[in-house]
Chain A
Amino acid sequence: MRFMMLMIPGGYETAAPGTVPDDVERVAAMMAYNKALMDAGVLITCDGLHPPSMGARVSFPSGKPVVTDGPFAESKEVLGGYWMIDVASRDEAIAWASRCPATPNEVIEIRQVQEMADYPEDVQAVASGFEDMQTTARRLPEAKSLRRA
């Protein structure tokens, strides 16, 4: 089962553009945690996100796209980064998240990723090409870096 561990750092909703993790000890602790996930064979991918003040939102109030630059005043909480893991159960995902060297202002939300088998049959029929697409998409970064090389 695949789960996303969503890192929600309190206060990141108002972080200035260009804010980056600059605490060497903390970055090292997170890297050690990432390595533990990797060594256990559960880590699929992980990323950190620049603050929302550098981002944009696209909303479709009447069906047509409207672009709004960040920060977003109405946000109570925002995503700071995520891990995607592959584990046997939700309990195992919770156990991994509990080991994270997180600070008191951080919350980790654990959400199961939808697999094709989770969808009703009629939905599966329409979405049948999606898994192939995901496989193709996953190969792209590799293909791109080869082209650059």
Chain B
Amino acid sequence: MRFMVIVHANKDSEAGVMPSTELLTAMGKFNEEMVKAGVLQAGEGLHPTSKGVRITFTGSEPTVKQGPFDVTRDLIAGFWVLDVASRDEAIAWMKRAPFAAGDEIEIRQVFAAEDFGEALTPELREQEERLRAQAAQK
């Protein structure tokens, strides 16, 4: 099962403040453990929303709105993608993450093709698998 671990933004991440050397070292060690255990598929940090945009689809044409956005607690600062046997295993890994007091992460299961049922017709499923195979080669 694959899980996305969402690291929520805070005032510092939104202000573009870089983590301390101490924290980066601890995160590096934690990432290395997950790689060695074969559970880490991806991990990235995102630039603050002040450099981002939002696109809404309420009118006949999409509307572009420049950041920053004001729902700080719901914004995303970074993420990991884990491949583990259960939600409990994902939680156990993340309880060990070297976060500071006040930090918060969210763990969400990633959809697999079999979750879609009949909406993903055999043709669409085949197309989906082809897309993933091609994207993985990039």
Contacts and interface: CB of A to CB of B under 8 A. Distances in A.
Interface residues of B, number: 74
A133 B127 contact: no
Interface in A96-133: 97-98, 100, 102-104, 106-114, 118-120, 122-123, 126-127, 129-130, 133
A104 B74 CA distance: 20
Interface string B80-122: 0101000100010011010111111111111100011111110
B31 A49 contact: no
A60 B32 contact: no
B104 A60 contact: yes
Interface residues of A, number: 82
Contacts, number: 220
The binding surface of chain A is classed by DSSP as mixed
A63 B100 CA distance: 6
Interface of B: 2, 4, 6, 18-19, 21, 24-25, 28, 31-32, 34-35, 38, 40-47, 49, 51-58, 62, 64, 69, 71, 73-74, 76, 78, 81, 83, 87, 91, 94-95, 97, 99-111, 115-121, 124, 127-128, 131, 134-136, 138
